[in-house]
Every structure is written in C-alpha cells, then in structure tokens.
Structure 1
C-alpha cells in the first residue's frame, strides 16, 4: 500500500485522478430512513479499517494512522437535479474531483443522494427513484472490494448488524507491511528481462500530459458470436480474458497499419493470494505490462495459446508492484502504458442489487450510462460478461486529449469488426478494420468494368438527352451558345445531305477539316448519324 500511494503521488501532475463509483436507484413504495443508511455505512467503516486510515506524508515518509470510528469520517450529501444533463454533471464531478477526498484526514469514502425533484423537501427519508451514489478514493478499493462492500451493505441494511472477520486478526496494514517484506528479486529479474525487449519508440510517448477527459462507447457482441466464443473457449481450454486479449492485440496490430510487431498493453490482476484477504476491503490489485511480439502469419487460435503461455509465465511474478516494475527501466517513465485491457464477469444481477425488504430494493445502475467521462488510459477495452443472460458487451473508453468523440466511435466499430471476424480468418494479417460502408466505397472506386453490350452510340445518347432537355444549353463558344434542340436539328440536316446527296454508306470514312466552331460539332454528330466514320484532318 505504501508503494502504491507513493506511486499515486508521483504521477499526480501527469494523470487525472479517478474515483470509483457505485450507483443505485431506489425502488420502494415506502420511505427509507437516511439515518438508517448513515448508520449502515458507519458499521462498514468500523469493520474495514482502510475506510478510516489517514495517510500522512512527513519528510518523504508515509505514516498510516487508523482513526477511531466516527460519523465525521465520511460525507453524506443531498442534491436535487432538474435534468439528465444536470445529473451527469454531478456524476462527472464525483468521478474526477480530487478535493472530494482528503487522505491525510482519512476521508476516502462518501455518499451522495441525488433526487429527481426539487419538490422533495424531506431530508430524513429516501423515496422512489432517488439515486444513491457511493464514491471511493481509488487508493482504498478495488473490484473485489466493491463486492465485499455490497455484501456488507446488504447485510447491515437487512439485519441492522454486521459480522466481523477477527478470526485471524489480519488487517490491511498487516498486508501492506508483509508486501514490503517479500523477496522481490526473482520477480525483478523476470520483469527486467521483459522490459529490455520493449521497443525504444515507447520513450517518445511520455512527453504529453493527459487531462483525464474521456469518452466511452459500448457495443454488444452478436448472440451467435457469443455462443461460438464460449464453445471455442471451452474446447481450447482457454479463458475469456485470454481470447479477448488476443482480439485486442489483433486490433492494436491492425491499427498500427500492420507495421508494429512489438505490442504491449496493461492488464490488472486481483493480487489476493492468501485466503485471509478474500473478505478484506483495500487496494490489492496490481497493474502489469503484457508484452507480445505479433506474428502476422499465425492463426488466431495460435495467438490465443501463445498469450495463455505468456500469462502462465507472468503469474508467478504478478505480485511485483507496477511502480517497482517501471523502476527497472527508468527510460520508460511511470506512465508508459497507454492502453489497458479488462474483463468483468457478472454471475447474477442479485449479486449487485440490494433487496432491503419486500418491495424496497437498491437497483444497480450501469455506471457507463451516467459516467465514462474520465479516461485513465489512452484506450481502455473492457469486456463485460453476463453469464446469467449469456451476453458479452465491450466498452471502449478513450482519452479526448488523443482522440475526438467521432474517432473513438469509429475505433469502437473497428474493434467490433475484429470480434466479428474471429472465426473467419486464417491468419492475423487477414483481419480487416474496414467498416461495411468503407468496403462498399472501395468496391465502387475500383469498379472499372464496362458492359459494352449495353452501351449505345454517342449520337443515340445525344438524341436521348435532347428529348429530355431540348432547351438546355449544349454548346458554348465565345459569345454564342446552342441548345440541344438546335444542335440536333442541324446535325440531322447534315446527315440527310450526306446520305441523299453524297451517298455516304454505313462504315464509310468521312473526313472533316474545320476549325473549332459550332460547325465542327455539328459535322461530328451529323457524320455519325449518317452511318459514316468520323475522321478529323
């Protein structure tokens, strides 16, 4: 934990601060006491010391101090919104506003109640459709911790009591100290070898600073594709993480115009090796670089199995903190990872919804519907697997400092294209980023086939156009002009003369010597109408 916080402090000026949100909407025919919610949150803060741990910097020394339980350790704010835009502004502020928390005062958690109407003046109770937003400073929570928080909140709201885990008397600070005493020599050697193979072009990407503003696009994979994907995963002894990561690497390869073979992205590991840590809230996750050399001629299946083997190689060394990894190659900088790949699995909706009593439920709101305005990386690809409904959706979150919204939307469609082609290409290089309308455009631009059997003579087409637009101007020369009807009339007169007076036969060459003029064009069309072969001199 000490190292993670120091790392967070070191990149403070380079990246946006992001908070972790959990958003619910109340469904209830009756009122729910806000004091009851406040008391439930106090129970949870009392149980989990990380939610009341002050982090104090003293002459480059980090002091961690566990504070006594108190209602003053978290804010409970109440706001009213007048529109969806107003609601999203509040959520954005919760998502990215650093001053909402104070690590030195142990304030790493807050609750924000958002009401849909200014007419609700009851500050003591929650009512139907009120939104309850739980906000955590990211240094105090990870994905597994959110599940622990939800389960504890469910228990304390329904039973007005909360079980504690004192059987081993292990605290989060114990884990932080244990982590610093681990022998990292083997892991350092492994990651040093990995980083030494990275391309030097990475150095050029560290100069620009990101504001943290982002945009998110989400799409669903087709149902048939999900079925085929699950079958492929089962038959090949792979995981969705490994297959999804392979697809993401194929996407990055094609986005580099198939030029960059040495690719890397960030991945996240839970980093909870001991069973005693399974029910403890805290920031355990670790970000790791996943480096891969693309072979354009291997199949997608081969790529998946190679990624699986690389993952097996990484796993024994995944405990080394990311900030320690980047120290092994200072040239890379603390933020050399510009992309991140994640997989989130939801077993059942009941895992996240909180049923307090019959008819009163906190229903989880997909944070992407309200949030998603913060970008932690240039591109973050997240696969959301919902096993209850056998669906998979993909979210593409990208930095607005690097891409505009339309570009991010197009990138998401191109990534969907990659997923759609997973089982239809034989080699990685055959993946195509082209969207259907782009394929159609290229086909049209390169369609130079002409069916001459359907092509008429020039003077036939000219006559047809004359019938359509007799009074439109056909010729313009200096200060004069001639309509289609006039040009046709004189050409027919000349053709009649050539046939009746000059006895011109079909296919006979008729020469014309004349300067550029109306008469030149009349002569050309007249000769064609007579059946002759126009021959300029």
Structure 2
C-alpha cells in the first residue's frame, strides 16, 4: 500500500478548518445512478482533452503490489475476495460516461457479473527483480480500464516459480506477488488501505453486505452543495475567494516562461522523462531549521523554492506565477472510510516582488496556502472555468510534496494476515515516478524522509515540451539555487542568502562563472574567418531546411528570444544600450557569422562577415509599443516563431526589440514597464551563452 509508505497530501485542511466547513452529514440514498462527481469529471475531461486517448500511455493507473511472505493462497479464493470487495464498494464497478441526452457526465453502478467486472491476468515464471520492475511499470502505463463499462479494477498475479503439480499451479506461494491496479476515476491514494483491508477481510470470511454509504452518495451530496443559492454558503464563499485570487491571470502566458519550451500544441502525448537528486545533509538540516524558525511547513517551503526558481529561470520576464498542487479533499468524517476519488487540484497563484527576500516570499506563500485550503472544496474545473476557456492552455507547473514517516509506524513493515497467508507491501522504487509518462509539462516532487533526515527531488517533464539536455541543466541549476539559499543558514557567521533580495540570487553554475574571466573585449588572435560548421549547427540547419521545404506554413523552433524588464523604479539609457550591443558584436564574431551549404564539399560552412563592411545589416533593431498583455504576448510569440527574423546566409543571426509601454520614450530612457527582447538563432546561440552575453552587456 502506497498510502502506507508516503503521505501524499500534507497540505490537508486541518481540524479547525474542517469543523468550520462542511458540517452536514452524508445521507444513504441507495442510488445506483447520478451525475459524476467533480473529481471524476476532472479526470475524465483531462484524459479526453489534454491527451490523445488513442496514442497516450495510461496516466491515471494507481498500483498496489503486495507479496506473499508466508503461506499460500488459492487463485480462486483471491478472485472471490475481489468480487466481494467490488460488491461492498460500488464505485469499483461504476461506469462513467457522457449522456448525450442530458448533456452531462454521469455514473452508474454496474451489476456483479461473476468475474467480468474487473481485469485479471496471471504471469508465470517471473525470475528476477528486473522482470518484476518491468511488469510494474507496464501496469502503470498500459490501458486496461473500460471506464464507460465500469471496469476500473485489475488484478495481476505473478508466480515466481513454475510448479508442475496441477493443484499447486492454482495457488500463489511465498514470494509470489499480487498487483492491484485501479483507475484514478474511481480511486485515490487515501483509499489504498481501505481497499487492501477489505480484500483481506473478505478473503478470510464472507461478510454480510448490509447498507453502507457509497461514493455515489457523496457525489449527490456534492452536487447539492454546488447549487446551493445561499450567498453565505461555504461554496459561494469559495467562489468569491477564487474569483479574486485568479483575477486577471494571463492563461496564455505560461508557455513563454521557460526557455527551451518547444511545443506548439496544447494536446500532449503523455510521454515524459524524469531526473532526480538528493540534497546534501547540511542543506536538508538548513531547510528544517528555516521551516521551524519561520513556522512554515515543508510543503510551504518547497513550494516557495519552486516559485522563486521559476521566477529566476524565466529571467524575471514575468512576476505572475501559478502552480497546481493536489489535496485529498476528504473533509467529511464519512469520506475518510470510503473508497472513491476525492482529490481536488488547487492552483496557487502569487506575484513575486524581486526586491523581497526568500523569507518574505515564503511567509506570503504560507498565508496563501492557508487561504487556499480554507476554500479547497470548490472543484478545480470551476475555479479556472470562470476565468479560463476551452482553448486556454493547462497550467503547466505542478508541485507535490511527500513525507516518508518513521519505519516504526509506516512503510514496508505493514503486514496483512488472511486465513491462508501473510501479505506485505512489495517494496522497491516509487513506480509512480520515472515511468515514461508525464501529466504536466513540468512537475516537481519533493520527498522528505523524517526518519532518515533526507530530501529527494524529482523533476518530471513532458518530452513534447522539453528535451533531456534542457531538463538536466534545469535540475543542476535548481540544486545550485537551493544550496545558495540554504547553505549559509547552517553557519551563523556567513551571510544568509535567504534574506537577500530574490533578484540577487543567481542560477549561474560553476562552469558559467569560470567562463566569464576567459572572455575579453577584443578579437582573440588566430581565429579563422571560414570553417566547417559544427555538428550542432549542421543539425539545426538541416532540420530547418527540411521543415521549411515540406511545410508551407513553417513555424520556426530555432528562434531564441530572451525577455527582460528593468527592476522596479530603474531606468536604462537607450543610447548606452545601442553602444553596448555594438561592443558585443565586435567581441563575439559568432553573432555576425553566416552559414552556407557548400555543394562541392557537401557540408555546411560558416564564415565570419566583416563587421565594418556590413555594419548596418548584421542585425535588426526594432521599436514597438504595447498597451495590453495580449498585445505583448503576440509580439513575443512572433519573436519566438517567425522564420523571417533571421537569415543564416546573410549572417543575420541576432536582433533586439524594444517594446515601450503605451508610448515611445520621450527622454531616451527605458522604464521598468518597458520590455527588452534579445533574439538569437539557435545555430549560433544556446541557453548557456546567455550568461556570457548578459555579463558582457553589463561590462560594455
């Protein structure tokens, strides 16, 4: 049981908040058909709209593997116990479907039909841990559920040894494994123990069914709350809160935030990769000290780290960020003993002030978390529904906190007993991560082990949006970012960076810093004017030529715009900026270098174009005005995707664009409301180069 080893919802509504919220109790209705709950609707819609159902891997399978430690279990008895469990918990045989007549997503409990209400498989002769790991990952990513028919449970038995005795072949023995898989539309992690314990009890002895509350009763109750017309109702208070919190949030701005995001479509393949790392022990201790000293939870601290890092990662282009996180939403006492899908997704939105410290930001986020959880009952799709629309992108960033408790009370030592065998959780890596899937464009999972005093981070990312090299760099910068904030906290004699303005924190890695002294403001000797293009340049040029040839409406993916705003109440001379850019071009010949395909040599050749002879054509400088965020985003999108902005043959591989807010400058200075865009062609510039460019620009 996954829920026994990790607390996935540390950001729960506390008892005081629960007492003040939903005081009504659920009613046993006996209904077998009703409108789908809000949580069911969210899962169903996400599968249908955000991902391609025909080609995406399964993204909402929850697995619970258990191993037989002692004794044996007849397969027939296991199947009988599964059927009994499905009888007791109607949601495990409930169909969710769109009713064309009513125009609603509905649920209907299906009758028990022997062994046809669930998926079942037996694998015989598994021989190694690696083979079992592969089977577990496959269970996570393979579609088995027939949601519209109520098949949402699967049982996969793994027999480690093949026994020739016929009677023994129909039993599981020591070290054999039972994998339960349940679709998220009917189940959440908080219900894992309830399911396993019900299975163990019904295996032991048949229990009378009786009349008990079912998930459909909760769905009916929830709908009653959502249509409550009283202005002072809890749900209407939540609506007012979320309307204020999300007011004027720019839903179209998200994909412009991270350098390296390349996808042009909103539908995702569902495929992804992950990178992970552990923090040094001194950083972990500093985090704990910081959390205790400021009376914040580790969830709130981790969320603050993610917000601040995203702000720095996008070069401070925007100060307005939104990150989603999940809450179990089991506020009613009755729901804590119920199998079903209750999890709600909550958007955390905050505007970052670059002059405030990390500590100040963290305290604001602490209050944000308190406010958000007090209004957690409003469904996610309604939260974004008033401000969003069906064509708007999904919030790309997600944060999850997991706390691993002491092994004395949680984890792999949990044992279940049946009349025939002793079962225990099958332990291994966390199969819910690093399984080749991605629900979000970029998600960060922070796992803190209170017993061993360790903290583990996992970045999961969509391969539709990021490549491995980009995320590897992001991961390294995040590690450096954390060490920069927390390393000084341990030593009282050092300056504590967590109290320094966020704008002063840096993402520069050691190799970036070492590169800066090696650059000087004159042409280095012995640099040739003509040479074969590098492998990376050839790859990019070939890719661009192929796409432009076959696609009449070719959209460039190799434009690399970097967007900047001045700090609050700062200004910048436009003339000095022009002079500095000229100095950059003199120093870095790569910014006035052409790329031409040499037919005789059958390769791309790069050639430096003399700066003095072609000064006015090496790059373009533009000025524009904007009044709304929509106009600004349109200009930025053009900078990112217009293939006409650069000409590799002519050596025009750099341009910069000044965007004045409302009107052009009257005094020759940029203000903190204006925007400055430096754009490069990727054949001559990568993300790491920006650190050198920006340093040299400051020097110039």
TM-score > 0.5, shorter chain as reference: yes
Q: Does 1:318 align with 2:376?
A: yes
- Measure the CA separation in 2 of the matches of 1:18 and 1:209: 14
Matches within 5 A, 1:510-529: none
Q: Does 1:428 align with 2:502?
A: yes
Q: Which has the larger radius of gyration?
A: 1
Aligned to 1:527: none
Aligned to 1:146: 192
Aligned to 2:155: 111
Instruction: Tell me: CA distance 1:324–1:123, structure 2 relative to 1, closer, same or farther (3 Å).
Output: farther
Matches within 5 A, 1:263-278: 263-278=321-336
Structure 2 unaligned segments of length 5 or more: list them: 1-35, 229-234, 257-263, 489-496, 523-700
Query: Contact 1:191–1:325 at 8 Å: present in 2 too?
Result: yes
Aligned to 2:249: 198
- Measure the CA separation in 2 of the matches of 1:404 and 1:389: 33
Query: Contact 1:194–1:291 at 8 Å: present in 2 too?
Result: yes
Matches within 5 A, 1:161-176: 169-176=212-219
Query: Contact 2:323–2:397 at 8 Å: present in 1 too?
Result: yes
Query: Contact 1:344–1:382 at 8 Å: present in 2 too?
Result: yes
Matches within 5 A, 1:370-449: 371-423=434-486, 424=488, 425=497, 426-445=500-519
- Per-residue CA deviation, residues 498-533 of structure 1 (Å, 9 max, x unaligned), is xxxxxxxxxxxxxxxxxxxxxxxxxxxxxxxxxxxx
Instruction: Tell me: CA distance 1:272–1:258, structure 2 relative to 1, closer, same or farther (3 Å).
Output: same
Q: Does 1:79 align with 2:127?
A: no
Q: Does 1:258 align with 2:316?
A: yes
- Measure the CA separation in 2 of the matches of 1:263 and 1:141: 30
- Measure the CA separation in 1 of the matches of 2:416 and 2:190: 22
Instruction: Tell me: CA distance 1:162–1:366, structure 2 relative to 1, closer, same or farther (3 Å).
Output: farther
Give how far 1:322 is off.
1.0
- Measure the CA separation in 1 of the matches of 2:389 and 2:116: 44
- Measure the CA separation in 2 of the matches of 1:364 and 1:85: 13
Query: Contact 1:417–1:435 at 8 Å: present in 2 too?
Result: yes
Aligned to 1:500: none
Query: Contact 1:343–1:384 at 8 Å: present in 2 too?
Result: yes
- Per-residue CA deviation, residues 331-370 of structure 1 (Å, 9 max, x unaligned), is 4746521111111223244644442459753323333488
- Measure the CA separation in 1 of the matches of 2:205 and 2:449: 31
- Measure the CA separation in 2 of the matches of 1:439 and 1:152: 59
- Measure the CA separation in 1 of the matches of 2:88 and 2:362: 42
Instruction: Tell me: CA distance 1:435–1:161, structure 2 relative to 1, closer, same or farther (3 Å).
Output: farther
Instruction: Tell me: CA distance 1:204–1:363, structure 2 relative to 1, closer, same or farther (3 Å).
Output: closer
Query: Contact 2:239–2:383 at 8 Å: present in 1 too?
Result: yes
Instruction: Tell me: CA distance 1:29–1:189, structure 2 relative to 1, closer, same or farther (3 Å).
Output: closer
- Per-residue CA deviation, residues 261-319 of structure 1 (Å, 9 max, x unaligned), is 11111111211111111111111111121111011221111111100111222223221
- Measure the CA separation in 2 of the matches of 1:75 and 1:202: 43
Q: TM-score, normalised by structure 2?
A: 0.57
Pick from 391, 402, 411: which aligns with 1:344? 402
Aligned to 2:549: none
- Per-residue CA deviation, residues 28-85 of structure 1 (Å, 9 max, x unaligned), is 3654433343344334323322112122433134442223444332122123557777
- Measure the CA separation in 2 of the matches of 1:376 and 1:131: 28
Pick from 27, 34, 45: which aligns with 2:86? 45
- Measure the CA separation in 1 of the matches of 2:194 and 2:202: 12
- Per residue, is there more helix in 1 or in 2? 1
Aligned to 2:344: 286
Structure 1 unaligned segments of length 5 or more: list them: 449-537
- Measure the CA separation in 1 of the matches of 2:50 and 2:449: 35
Q: Does 1:208 align with 2:243?
A: no
Moved more, 348-357 or 12-21: 348-357
Q: Does 1:95 align with 2:140?
A: yes
Query: Contact 1:271–1:286 at 8 Å: present in 2 too?
Result: yes
Instruction: Tell me: CA distance 1:7–1:21, structure 2 relative to 1, closer, same or farther (3 Å).
Output: closer
- Measure the CA separation in 1 of the matches of 2:62 and 2:164: 24
Query: Contact 1:268–1:288 at 8 Å: present in 2 too?
Result: yes
Give how far 1:120 is off.
8.3
Give how far 1:420 is off.
2.0
Matches within 5 A, 1:116-127: 123-127=169-173
| Root-mean-square deviation over aligned CA pairs | 3.3
Q: TM-score, normalised by structure 1?
A: 0.73
- Measure the CA separation in 2 of the matches of 1:38 and 1:388: 37
Aligned to 1:187: 238
- Measure the CA separation in 2 of the matches of 1:174 and 1:359: 34
- Measure the CA separation in 1 of the matches of 2:442 and 2:205: 43
- Measure the CA separation in 2 of the matches of 1:244 and 1:325: 23
Give how far 1:219 is off.
1.7
